[in-house]
Amino acid sequence: MQILQILQVILFSIPTLTLLGMGIVILSRSVSIIDRRIYLAVFIPLLLANTLALFEGTGIRFYWRTWLILGADLVLILGIVWFSHGFQVYGLTVETAVNVLVKAFHQQGYMVETMETEKRDLWGRTRQAYLLTAQRTGEEHLFWIINRFNELSIRAKNRADTGHLHKVLPALRQQEVPYDFKAHAVGVLYIVLALVFAVLTWIFFFEPHLILVD
């Protein structure tokens, strides 16, 4: 039981440290780029900690509820892995980001077309977006640049094309723009969430033991 609790504390600590690091990075740079795969370190440890909770008490018993929880955790993990691709950019306007990406792809020998459009997210909300098409002999890569409240989401339309974004992202990082706190305010939210996770972890795992000791 003690080993399970230690593992759960470690798993709860990973999202806390990840959110704290994300917040600091976003706040400390005039142009910040976050790989969406970092969210795997936020959600998956929590789901694994939830799975470990099944082993507490008298040990794991495979009732139908147990299988339901394990199945739900597995589906959620696979869903998070599938949707966690692309990048989030802070500090640049959507127009600036599009122009920089077009220029970067041109330098690599691509013909580029852009189209201003709208895109619906999973919740049915419509966002302003640009569809960027990079073409070269025998190649065609499509990328979405979506504007969401001072946050740009840049994603390949096909997951296989995500690797091509890595080649042009340095051009975004090299942009020298004035620091605008509003464009980085989400960093404060991540730090607050990290503190909330830390407090909840302390209360859940340590406060009951302190009460018993007293």
**Structure letter (DSSP) for residue 138:** T
Q: Hey, what are 130's tokens?
A: 């640009």
| pTM for the structure as a whole | 0.81
49 φψ region: left (φ > 0), alpha (ψ -120 to 50), beta (else): alpha
Q: What is the pLDDT of residues 9-65, one digit of tens each?
A: 888 889 999 999 999 999 998 899 999 889 999 888 888 887 776 666 555 556 666
pLDDT at 127: 76
Q: Which residues pair with 32 in a beta bridge?
A: 90
**Structure letter (DSSP) for residue 57:** T
Q: Is the pLDDT of residue 212 over 50?
A: no
Q: How far is CA 202 from the centre of its chain?
A: 25
Name 200's Cβ contacts closer than 8 Å, sequence gap at least 6: 12
3-state SS class at 30: coil
**Structure letter (DSSP) for residue 38:** G
